[in-house]
Structures are given as C-alpha cells and as structure tokens.
Chain A
C-alpha cells in the first residue's frame, strides 16, 4: 500500500475488484439504508465485521484503511460529543448546566459506528472501482432519468473530468501557495482576515487556471470528435455476472434479515 493516496483506485484482481461497479454502488446504498433503518448494536457489529471481511477479500491492507479513519476523527469526535450532551435522558455526568446522559452515550457510540461503516463502505467502493467504471456505473444506474430529460451523460462526464483533475489542482494550489508566500502572503497569520485574504491569492488564480483549462479541454475534445452524446460503449461493457447476482441477493437478504430480527425483538 506504499505510495497510495486515500480513496485512490488501486488496481487488483480480487473478487471485489471484479464485481460490476453497479453492484458495488447498489451495495453501498443498501448498507446506508441498513444502518439507518436498524441500529441495534449487534446489527452494527455485523456490518463492521462485514466491512472488515470485504476489505480483506479485496486485498487492501486493513491496517492502512483503519489508520485512515484518523482523517475523519474530528467528525467522529464532534458527532459523539454532540449526541452525548444533547440527548435527553438519564444524566450520567453533570458539567454545569449541561449533562451527559446515558442515552446520549449509547446514541453517540451508535452514530460513531454508523459513520465508520459508511466511511469504510465508500473507501472500498472508491479503492476497488476504477474511475471510468465508477462513472459508467453511475451513468448506467441514472439512465432512467433520461426519460425526465435530465442529461445524465453530461453529468457523469463532468464528474469524471473533475475527478481526474483533483490531483492536478492540488499540485497547482501548492505551487501557487509557495509563489504567493514568496511575495509575502501570510498564510499562518494569527489574524483571520489576513489569512482569508491570503487564501484568495490561491483561489482566484486556481479559478482562472480552471477556466482556461476548460476552454483548452473543450478544444481537445472537439478535435477528437466528441459530440456530447452518450456512446453506449462503456456502459455496454458492463455486464452483470453470476457473482454480481449472488452478491446482490446476499446483501438484500441481510437487509431484510435485519429488518425482520429487529421487528421481532
């Protein structure tokens, strides 16, 4: 996993890699629905185990992915604290007028795990699905919207091109930041207004560069006969196979099982 940035596609040969992107997207949606419908501890525990299993099958380093949770540590912390303080119920700890309740602690922990499951699910999706396949998958699933005259293809083209340029933009931002620093821009100033103004010196040039880039890209695409109409090629290369059907059935079964178990208890 050396040299891999978070969320970046990693080429591989695992079962997860081989699944149709639409299967993976639908599974992600199922997981989202599942953890929102039912959040009893054993349910969440099951999903965490499921995520860990999927990560192992995909060949990604579990250690790397779990370590990457550090990126959302503030989100997790804030969620937990807010839930602990703001949920009404039996107080466990008093801090002046505010109190941490037992229900708050339980709900806080629950939400923590929900977020972790969602995070892990998205990571698996992004790291095992190539951007092109992902974009083709999204486009294919959104095709019915075409009947409502929504230009699905254009939308996914925009997504896919934006995605491709994220690393480039980050690089450019770093260079521009250094260049402006060399002219005295104070990015570390204690005064917020000074700092904000300094960041303008990065945002405006980036924006300008992006406008120019859009023009150039348009020319390059035109020159290669791009007509803005969807070509069925990428999407027709997506085929549901036996493993996709099995995976989808499994996930739907798990979802229903969870619903049934929780309605019984």
Chain B
C-alpha cells in the first residue's frame, strides 16, 4: 500500500439542529498511517462516530480539513475515489444490506464504480471466498444470522478494493462467536493484506488486535498510544467511564508489586511469563 494515510487537520464538527448547536469534535489533529490498525475508544456521544464518518467524506468538517491520500474530502470531485479508497461498515447489520440476494449486495459497490461484468463477477467470487460466504451466495439477507449479515456488509465493502477500512461499532449487535470471527477476519486483512483499519468500539475486547489506541472524550483526543500504554492509565480511563480489557486490568494489579508487564498482551502470554513451558 503506498497511500499517504488519512489526515485530520484542526478539524471541528458542529451539528446545528433546530436552533441548538452541538460540538461533536473540537479541533482534532490526527494522522493515520497506511497499514495501521487503530482502535477508537470512547463512550457513546464522545464523537467517535463523527470521527469515523469524517474519514470517508460522509460528513464534512465545519472547520479544518480531512485528507485521504492527499485528497481533500470537501471537494466534490474527490468523493467517488475517496469512498472507494475508504470502505465503511456500520453498526446495524440489517440496515446496510439493500439487495434481496447476497451476491447482488456484493455487486452493488463495483456496479456503482462502473466496472465490467467479468470484473464484478471475479470480485464477488473473491469476496465471498475471503469471508467464507460461498454457501450464502444466493441467500436472502433475512435468512442470515447477525454475524453473517455483518460479514456480507464487509464483503460488499471489500469488493471495492479499498485501502482503508473504517468500522463503526461493527460488533455491538453480534454474539461473542460472531464477534470473534469478524475480529479474526480484520486481523488477517491488516496483517496479510496491509489494509489500514480504524475500528471504533466501546468494548475493549474488540480492540485487542489494534496496534494504536485513540481514546476520544467529549470531542477531543483524551489519550493516545499503544494498547499497553493506554491501558496502563486505568484511573484516567475510569474517569471517563471506560475500562481496559480484563487481562490488562489483571496485569495492572500485578504490576503494583511485580515487574511483569513487558510485552504481555494476552492471557497466554501472561501465563507463559509466570510459568514458562
């Protein structure tokens, strides 16, 4: 991937609604490099959804600029290319699928890009295979489980061959097994295909594969860093109503007396550290 990343420069977003104003984001400056796996954490209403939507041009900033691979999202000429480069998966699986058949849903994006039938068919086949949906090709969406629907949504975005993938609370309506499966697919896309991933969630377990965490609170960046760095600041997180994943909470407790935390990111790693095989 030789893109330039997604850049937010002094971005402020104010929503005006029937006389009232709400500032969703305050003067945010942020760069996401190609290949990063970024986790966006924050309470509901913190501004993370707004931030996600600014990155693919669905929303334009009130002040400041957003650049995707150097292209300004406020310029209408760039819209199609930006939306192709930056794919977006939303929270509600049902409310993203418009076609009566899975295959058609995946074709929707490529069709809008004006690709040839052969190209579209090959992309459909690839996307179905990448997410293990071959058997669901001819199915109607209402026959699918929540997890399968979300995979179809992801497949239909991947069929546009984006460089960046933004997911806004994609697992909050899924059961644990589907959640884990989706996270595995995202990890594979990031590590094997170098896809840049921005995942927004208030469930810290979703962000375990992220290599960078950005914590948003009331429209501003509250904390930033590697997961280990961010999760070590447990009391700062608690102040805004968030908590680290269980394993990090345990590590933080153990860290009070021992020096154990270096490079420990999972249950297996902690167990190995304490009792090497």
**Chains A and B share a contact (CB less than 8 Å):** yes
Residues of A participating in the B interface, judged by any CB pair closer than 8 Å: 9, 11, 130-132, 160-161, 163-164, 167-168, 171, 212-213, 216-217, 219-227, 231, 233-234, 237
Residues in B with CB closer than 8 Å to A227 are 80, 112
Confirm or deny: B185 has a beta carbon within 8 angstroms of a beta carbon on chain A. no
A216 to B157 alpha-carbon distance, docked (Å): 15
A237 to B103 alpha-carbon distance, docked (Å): 15
Interface centre among A132, A223, A227, by most chain B C-beta atoms within 10 angstroms, is: A223
* Contact flag A216-B90 (CB < 8 Å), given A222-B58, A224-B157: yes
B249 CB, min distance to chain A CBs, angstroms: 34
* Contact flag A216-B100 (CB < 8 Å), given A223-B83, A227-B112: no
Residues in B with CB closer than 8 Å to A168 are 94, 141-142
A259 CB, min distance to chain B CBs, angstroms: 38
A76 to B98 alpha-carbon distance, docked (Å): 35
Smallest CB gap from A130: residue in B: B101
A212 to B117 alpha-carbon distance, docked (Å): 33
Contact B95 A160 (CB under 8 A): no
A237 to B153 alpha-carbon distance, docked (Å): 24
Contact A224 B142 (CB under 8 A): no
Residues in A with CB closer than 8 Å to B109 are 224-225
* Contact flag A224-B101 (CB < 8 Å), given A168-B94, A171-B142, A231-B111: no
Confirm or deny: B193 has a beta carbon within 8 angstroms of a beta carbon on chain A. no
A40 CB, min distance to chain B CBs, angstroms: 40
A161 to B96 alpha-carbon distance, docked (Å): 11
Contact B100 A164 (CB under 8 A): yes
Contact B58 A224 (CB under 8 A): no
Per-residue interface assignment for chain B, residues 116 to 142, with 1 indicating a CB less than 8 Å from any chain A CB and 0 otherwise = 010010000000000000000010111
Smallest CB gap from A213: residue in B: B95
Confirm or deny: B25 has a beta carbon within 8 angstroms of a beta carbon on chain A. no
* Contact flag A220-B100 (CB < 8 Å), given A167-B142, A225-B160, A226-B112: no
Contact A219 B142 (CB under 8 A): no
Query: What 6 A-B pairs come out closest when comparing CB atoms?
Result: A216-B95, A224-B109, A131-B100, A167-B142, A220-B96, A225-B112
B25 CB, min distance to chain A CBs, angstroms: 18
Confirm or deny: B104 has a beta carbon within 8 angstroms of a beta carbon on chain A. yes
Smallest CB gap from A236: residue in B: B117
A120 CB, min distance to chain B CBs, angstroms: 23
Contact B100 A163 (CB under 8 A): yes
Count of A-B contacts judged by CB separation below 8 Å: 82
Q: Which of B83, B84, B100 contacts A132 (CB 8 A)?
A: B100
Interface centre among A131, A225, A231, by most chain B C-beta atoms within 10 angstroms, is: A225
* Contact flag A161-B95 (CB < 8 Å), given A167-B142, A224-B157: no
Contact A216 B160 (CB under 8 A): no
Smallest CB gap from A134: residue in B: B100
A223 to B84 alpha-carbon distance, docked (Å): 8
B188 CB, min distance to chain A CBs, angstroms: 22
A223 to B156 alpha-carbon distance, docked (Å): 11
Contact A223 B56 (CB under 8 A): yes
Question: Which residues 78-100 in B have Cβ within 8 Å of A in the complex?
Answer: 80, 83-84, 87-88, 90, 92, 94-100
* Contact flag A224-B160 (CB < 8 Å), given A131-B100, A213-B95: yes
A101 CB, min distance to chain B CBs, angstroms: 47
Contact A225 B96 (CB under 8 A): no
Smallest CB gap from A131: residue in B: B100
Smallest CB gap from A221: residue in B: B98
B87 CB, min distance to chain A CBs, angstroms: 7
A25 CB, min distance to chain B CBs, angstroms: 17
* Contact flag A164-B80 (CB < 8 Å), given A220-B98, A221-B98, A223-B56: no
Confirm or deny: B108 has a beta carbon within 8 angstroms of a beta carbon on chain A. yes
A245 CB, min distance to chain B CBs, angstroms: 23
17 contacts between A and B (CB under 8 A): A130-B101, A132-B100, A160-B99, A164-B140, A164-B141, A216-B96, A219-B58, A220-B88, A220-B96, A221-B98, A222-B58, A224-B112, A225-B80, A225-B112, A226-B108, A227-B112, A231-B112
Smallest CB gap from B142: residue in A: A167
B54 CB, min distance to chain A CBs, angstroms: 13
Q: Which of B90, B98, B114, B160 contacts A161 (CB 8 A)?
A: B98
Residues in A with CB closer than 8 Å to B160 are 224-225
Contact B142 A223 (CB under 8 A): no
A237 to B111 alpha-carbon distance, docked (Å): 12
Question: Which residues 34-90 in B have Cβ within 8 Å of A in the complex?
Answer: 53, 56, 58, 80, 83-84, 87-88, 90
Contact A167 B112 (CB under 8 A): no
Confirm or deny: B14 has a beta carbon within 8 angstroms of a beta carbon on chain A. no
